[in-house]
Structure 1
Amino acid sequence: MSCMKMEPKKWRFVYYLNTNGLIFCTFISFCCICHNFFQSYPKKTSKKISSRDVTFSYNVGVCEIEVMNCQEAFLRVHGLQIHARKVRNFQHQMKQGFAVPKEDGRGELGNYPYKFQDEAVQSVRELLNAIPKYNSHYSRQQNPNKVYLYCDLTIASFFRDKYSQYCKEKQVPAVSESKFREILVSEFNVGFKLPKSDTCSKCDGFLIAISNPELCAEEVTEKKQQYELHLKKADRGQNVIASLTALAKENSKEHHVIAMDMQQTFPTHKLTVGPAFYKRKIWTYNYGIHDCGSNKDYMFLWSVEDGGRGSDEVGSCLLKYLEITNPQTKHLHIIIDNCKGQTKNWTIIALERSLVATKRFDSVQHYFPVVGHTMLPCDRDFGCIERYARKRRPIVYTPDEWAEVIKSASPKHFIVTKMEREDFRSLKSLKTLTSKRTESTSGNPHHFSEATQFKFESEDPFKLSVKHSYSDIGAFMSVDIRVKKKGRLVESNPYQLPIKYRKPLPINQKKTGDVLSLMPYIPAAKQDFFRSCTGNNMYNNEVEELP
């Protein structure tokens, strides 16, 4: 006999599986005690005497003490409100003298007039196993075995359009919709995915071209081949992320692997009143760095008045992260998207070169997954924050409150650091040490935008190793980025990075007016931040009404 775990958690009964079905365990016999009939209460009917011949008392163990309860309280304590009939059936057996529950008598005659054929039930399983399913990127960590079907399906439409047609083609008997729903819910961990957002532009272009009736067969075949190659390249990029994550966990003393990305901006303030929907907001930026080895997430938060969101800000967040964590490893691996303005540019390359030139790391390797298929660990972190903010925090006034929201979304994994204006450094001096090259040392052209990997080593900090594929077979292309022009000015100490912003960044006058117009909806204790941002202590106290 095998024990099955039941829900809810307060359920203290245990079920045993045998050849005759599910049988109630004798735990109830220790809590439900049968007594002789205590007292008769006349009913307001023609029958003046109660038909009960016994009565039951219900005991619940509390700190090794048996406490008597009424039937309703007993059922609620054990979560048996919807199973009261089973309790009554067992009490009926106790009155007949049974000390333990009888075996289930259903099916003894061998007559199952309403049973579905095994072939019909098996057809449901075969269809569900054959239909394409997808793993969720954002909830993969919490539900690793959860799979999803197409977003345009429901259980009813799936049964009506897919399953019924499948049974007709295979010429097999079909089950009812209720049975189909039961099998889908009880045996398969399947859901229906939400519509995609931020899809890959190349994938969409290929799919539209393939479905174009004006193209000839040869052109369609060519587009399909290009599409398949694109998907294979995207899969190889994801395999690189998985292998690096495994490397960080297995050999954390030698390799430190991080993933970096910028989250969508937070509106500050975030209000629920109608006029706020039409007003401009002050934005709060959040840059996430995910430690793939320890699975911790470091969030760097700042307001629009303290800094922008360019390559200098991204590099400053990376330097701040290294200052906080101080990883004592030889090799640093960075996984990042292909955003040219923030990460895939010569500013970040100059910063990575400085990390090996100053002997901070023996090597720094940079990986770029395929555009539209990055699916970084940071995306899951950002999704957790956005879900929590949407469900739990409809109102947020200041960047400090956004920091509280991020911490509350995952207290064990999220570590929030507020970036001050002095934390942002200008990386311009590091760029003066490097020269942009479009050719390798062997004379082959170097396509910067198509690179999938960059690598620096401390043995030769000015040699940039570039790779244009995710395969381990292909060799790196060497690019010499050393400054060769004579007379070029180089600062005396280029590694001493100056502060980028000495004063708050200006905010658009129209945005300032919109922010100040919403002050009546903000508590007085939260208004100082907006006054400092706008540089104006005067605002309109009148509440704006929607037309």
Structure 2
Amino acid sequence: MLLSTIGIGEWQLLKWTNDSQNGTQTTSVLSKTPARKHANHMENREAVRCFVESLPKLPSHYCRSSTSRLYLQSDIKSFSHLYGIYKEYCTTAEIKSVSIKVFKSVLNEMKVSIFHPKKDQCDVCCSFETGNLQEEVYRNHIQKKNEARNEKETDKVNALEGRCRVVTVDLQAVLLAPSLLASSMYYKTKLACHNYTIYDLGSGEVSCYVWHEGEGDLGSSNFTSCISDYIEKTTVDGDKVLIIYSDGCTYQNRNCTLSNALLDLSVKKNLTIFQKILEKGHTQMECDSVHSTIEHALRHRSIYVPADYVNVMKNVRVSKPYKVNYLDNTFFKDFSQLNYYTSIRPGIKPGDLCVTDLRVLKYNPDGTIQYKTRYTEDYMDFPRKARCSGNLTHRITPLYNGPQKIKASKFKHLTELKKVIPPDYHGFYDGLLHE
């Protein structure tokens, strides 16, 4: 009964029985072995935690307010890539590695994920597929997606036929400098570089606005500076309608700073501007093809400084090369000084419509903004009226007084990485301001 129930060997049973009869104080194999295995298991899990903690991590760039999950820097491409780095770490540290299953469970406990492009999957669709969402909510979501898609296709046809100008705008996933294949790179924080892309659906022309965190951050005035510069430079006599498609990122696309700037341009240029927001989780646009082309060109390519990204972008497309603007801190303007509208929220009372419910914003040359929460609805006026309507003249001041400081820990890591960077590039990193 003991052999079949407990599953111990006969020699272990005899030894246990003899020791008990002889009065020998011996710890039972039944209690000692599981305890030792458990202790070893916990030590191995703790080693995984130490490894993961040694890797640089970032909060979600697109949903910081709704999740505490952290993401590994984008130079780690996949889970198998990460597990391979971990195996090398164990070999160097002379410790035993855990299985892939255990490794993944530790990552989940720590709320750490591999970086993935933001448009890979739709949360609403995934929730419905797993049975965690009501069918009515899902069908309403799909209907909104189709409305946005149909609207975009119609506008694209009109753009190709010259009836209006239509552009899509999006921020590429963060790029890191330096970006090399050296194993030491994975344990160091690097300089974040940003590419704000504007794609003209009628002409196929692409404009990229590129900067790094030593020159500017990711505030609403930064993105507003880019789109304002683009409109100022590309609008010609005869243009009457400009349509801008984007995702619904609030600090990037749905905010009062950008809306006031677009309204200001609408009045100055006598240009009706439409800002149209695609449905969350289904925001694939022509900008994505630009980002994919750039990322493909960067495969197995060494990037030593941010300017290397600019060189790649300029040469990645032979016909109609991308227009790349490499920005410094002097480019960015403080558009928060425009306060024609103090809010673009379509509701006033608690429970009313919010900014995230907006789908279309129409900026009129008469100094007013109208909105829609569904593409199939009629335009409505905001409950709050514009200030100085019809007389919009403001002087915009610079956003920064000079280059921006990076964290002291990041500067230390970049200094340590100079050992894998050619000496010609050291001066760039030495010149970065830091805390």
TM-score normalized by the length of structure 2: 0.67
2:425 is matched with which residue: 526, 531, 546? Answer: 526
The RMSD of aligned alpha carbons is 2.8
Deviation at 1:483, TM superposition (A): 5.1
Deviation at 1:423, TM superposition (A): 1.0
| Structure 1 residue aligned with 2:212 | 303
Aligned pairs, how many?
A: 315
Q: Larger C-alpha radius of gyration, 1 or 2?
A: 1
1:423 is matched with which residue: 297, 318, 331? Answer: 331
Q: d(CA) in 1 for partners of 2:364 and 2:386?
A: 18
SS at match of 1:209: coil
Judge conservation of contact 2:347–2:354 (CA < 8 Å) in 1: no
Greater share of strand residues, 1 or 2? 1
Deviation at 1:439, TM superposition (A): 5.2
| Structure 1 residue aligned with 2:373 | 468
Deviation at 1:408, TM superposition (A): 2.5
Deviation at 1:320, TM superposition (A): 1.9
| Structure 1 residue aligned with 2:297 | 388
| Structure 2 residue aligned with 1:267 | 176
CA offsets, 1:441-493, max 9 Å, x none?
9xx954321111010211x313x21111122xx211111543579xxxxxx99
Amino acid of the structure 1 residue aligned with 2:395: Q
Segments of structure 2 that go 5 or more residues without pairing to the other structure are 1-115
Judge conservation of contact 2:119–2:284 (CA < 8 Å) in 1: no
| Structure 1 residue aligned with 2:126 | 204
| Structure 1 residue aligned with 2:380 | 477
Q: 1:296 to 1:500 in 2, by over 3 A?
A: same
2:422 maps to 1:512? no
Greater share of helix residues, 1 or 2? 2
Judge conservation of contact 1:302–1:419 (CA < 8 Å) in 2: yes
Correspondence 1:18-37 to 2 at 5 A: none
SS at match of 2:374: coil
CA offsets, 1:118-146, max 9 Å, x none?
xxxxxxxxxxxxxxxxxxxxxxxxxxxxx
Q: 1:240 to 1:483 in 2, by over 3 A?
A: closer
2:278 maps to 1:369? yes
Judge conservation of contact 1:440–1:478 (CA < 8 Å) in 2: no
Judge conservation of contact 1:425–1:498 (CA < 8 Å) in 2: yes
Amino acid of the structure 1 residue aligned with 2:373: H
Q: State the percentage of identical aligned residues.
A: 23
2:355 is matched with which residue: 445, 448, 452? Answer: 448
Q: d(CA) in 2 for partners of 1:314 and 1:479?
A: 24
Greater shift in the superposed pair: 412-421 or 304-313: 412-421
Judge conservation of contact 2:119–2:283 (CA < 8 Å) in 1: no
Segments of structure 1 that go 5 or more residues without pairing to the other structure are 1-193, 211-219, 486-491, 537-547
Q: d(CA) in 2 for partners of 1:197 and 1:351?
A: 28
| Structure 1 residue aligned with 2:3 | none
Larger relative CO (CA 8 A, sep 6+): 1 or 2? Answer: 2
1:495 is matched with which residue: 394, 415, 422? Answer: 394
| Structure 2 residue aligned with 1:312 | 221
1:435 is matched with which residue: 323, 339, 342? Answer: 342
Q: 1:409 to 1:257 in 2, by over 3 A?
A: same
Deviation at 1:382, TM superposition (A): 0.6
Amino acid of the structure 2 residue aligned with 1:476: Y
Judge conservation of contact 1:438–1:445 (CA < 8 Å) in 2: no
| Structure 2 residue aligned with 1:238 | 149
Deviation at 1:356, TM superposition (A): 1.9
1:400 is matched with which residue: 292, 307, 317? Answer: 307
Q: 1:440 to 1:361 in 2, by over 3 A?
A: farther
Judge conservation of contact 1:332–1:361 (CA < 8 Å) in 2: no
Judge conservation of contact 1:422–1:501 (CA < 8 Å) in 2: yes
Q: 1:250 to 1:476 in 2, by over 3 A?
A: same
